[in-house]
Amino acid sequence: MKKSVPLIAVLVAGGLTVSACGSSSTPAASGTTTPAPTSSAAGSPTSDGESSGPTGSSSAGGGEALPATTISVLAPSYADSSEADWKTIIGAFKKVQPNVTVDLQIEAWDGFSDKVAARIQAQDMPDILNDNNYGESADDLLYPVNEVMSPETLATIEPALLKNGVGTDGTQWAAPDIATSRLLVYNTDLFKKAGISAPPKTWTEMEDAATKLKAIGVAGYGMPLGKEEAQAESTLWLWGAGGTWIDGEGLKADTPAAAEGFTEMKKFIDGGLTQANPGSSNRQDVADLFNQGKVGMYVSHSGLTATTRDKFKDIKFAETPIPSKSGTPVGYGVTDFILAFNNKDEARKAATKSFLDFFYQEAQYGPWYKGTGLLPATTDAIASATTDDAVNAPFYQALKTVQFTPSGYKQWSALQSALQATAGKLQSASAADVLKEIQAQVDAAG
């Protein structure tokens, strides 16, 4: 097995490194999440967390009674209902495994990685962690998820998402529990006013559309290169050029494909086709401009478009795949994960497995994921949501073809930080100089 960076080193030295659906620095996510609408989907737990869940089931989570033990869950708050949603599942689980007690700790995303690190440092690891990252193979700290989830449960997760939890050593260290996907969102009224007959598929068509939008007095394309999601925006353009951050067994920033993607971004900036300050804009800043009718198109997710749909009803928009140089759509996805810590206690391990199999059952998982306000990770839930939630159907469909940033690589933390700190300099510096600086930061990190 390939030697890896211990998770504790990743956590303590660099913090959780991947901004997936949530963010370790901002409440409710790095521009990818939105507060969940209500907790009603999960029902209302009683004061002790009991619910009207199934009883005495012989399916996953039920069966033979487990010995008395206590396991703990550490999870972020996606919405006001998050604690209640978890307690509903815990209450239902208690009915099928009465000897198992599940302690719950819910924390805000702001400072969440610090909470995780503190528990690891105190040798008080939660048995189950819901987070936006996993450390590469995490010697002796994590169980491979196939040891704490049944094959049947793992098979419920959408394969395109499940692979995002595979480390560079080929081990499935994490199981996705929620996801988001990105699409190009465009203002249909502005497109019509500018004489644009169809959404762009290629960079050339995108530049032409942005130029026509500029001519009617709005920013053609919203480009967020601020610290919140510069890594995501940069990755979209890299992939659009046909490239990847992966170089052999490591990651590399300064590559010909990256140069091509960054040069194209610079072309939009220098041509005045973006908002005024792309180097310091976060995705929410761009979304705000879009909601004001000041940006013609930007890459968005279902949480942001829900806000546009609900609160800015005068803004008419549609979604389309993200353009690339060749016209092959770029699919960008993010997931959060379930991880299981190895606390070297077989009773707790068995209880963890029983609980996770129970958690992913449709009756438990469906209400829980809806409470997060994000997209589901299981194949059945995605199919159901695609039918029931037609306005977001394109985002659900995209989950099947998305790519992910290389979160399983130990260098990703350094590369992500370098992109967040430096990609915005494209506003005033050349693509070559910016990439050289990013590469230097990655190299310095080792």
C-beta of residue 90 within 8 angstroms of C-beta of residue 129 = no
Report the C-alpha gap between 68 and 85 in whole angstroms: 24
| pLDDT at residue number 5 | 34
Estimate the crossing angle of helix 412-422 against helix 230-240, to 10 degrees. 100
Backbone angles phi, psi at 214, to 5 degrees: -60, -35
The amino acid present at 429, given as its one-letter code, is A
**What is the pLDDT at residue 29?**
32
pLDDT at site 13: 36
The residue written with tokens 């194949």 in the block is 379
pLDDT digits (tens, 9 = 90+) for 249-261: 899 999 999 999 9
Cα 324 to Cα 260: distance, rounded to the nearest angstrom: 11
Q: What is the pLDDT of residue 47?
A: 31
Nearest to 240 by CA among 282, 201, 190, 194: 201
Q: Name the nearest CA neighbour of 294 among 304, 306, 285, 303.
A: 285
277 and 295 Cβ atoms separated by less than 8 Å: no
Contact 261, 243 (CB under 8 A): yes
Q: How does DSSP classify residue 165?
A: G
Helix (H, G, I), strand (E, B) or coil at 361: coil
CA dist 394 and 379 (Å) reads: 15
Q: Provide block-wise average pLDDT over 10 residues at a time, the chain (446 residues).
A: 36 36 34 34 33 39 85 93 96 97 92 86 94 66 95 95 88 94 97 98 98 98 92 96 94 98 98 97 95 98 90 97 97 93 96 98 96 92 90 90 84 90 97 98 91
Distance between CA 119 and CA 195 in Å, rounded? 57
CA distance 335 to 350: 26
Distance CA 441, CA 236 (A): 21
> Which residues fall within 8 angstroms of residue 3, CB to CB, at 6 or more apart?
none
Task: Give per-residue pLDDT as tens, 181-212.
Answer: 999 999 999 999 999 999 999 999 999 999 99
Contact 446, 281 (CB under 8 A): no
CA–CA separation, 92 and 56 (whole Å): 10
Contact call for residues 434 and 238 (beta carbons, < 8 A): no
Using only C-alpha atoms, what is the Rg of the chain?
Answer: 22
DSSP, collapsed to helix, strand or coil, labels residue 17 as coil
pLDDT of residue 134: 72
Q: Which of 307, 160, 335, 296 is nearest to 215 (CA)?
A: 296
What is the distance between the alpha carbons of residues 413 and 15, in angstroms, rounded to a whole number? 9
Please tell me the distance from the alpha carbon of residue 199 to that of residue 185, in angstroms, as a whole number: 9
Vertex 34 angle, CA 311 and 18, to 5°: 145
pLDDT for 399 equals: 87
Integer distance in angstroms from the first to the last C-alpha of the chain?
21
Close Cβ partners of 321 (under 8 Å, ≥ 6 residues apart): 183, 184, 201, 329, 330, 331, 398
Distance of CA 379 to the CA centre of its chain: 17
DSSP state of 20: S
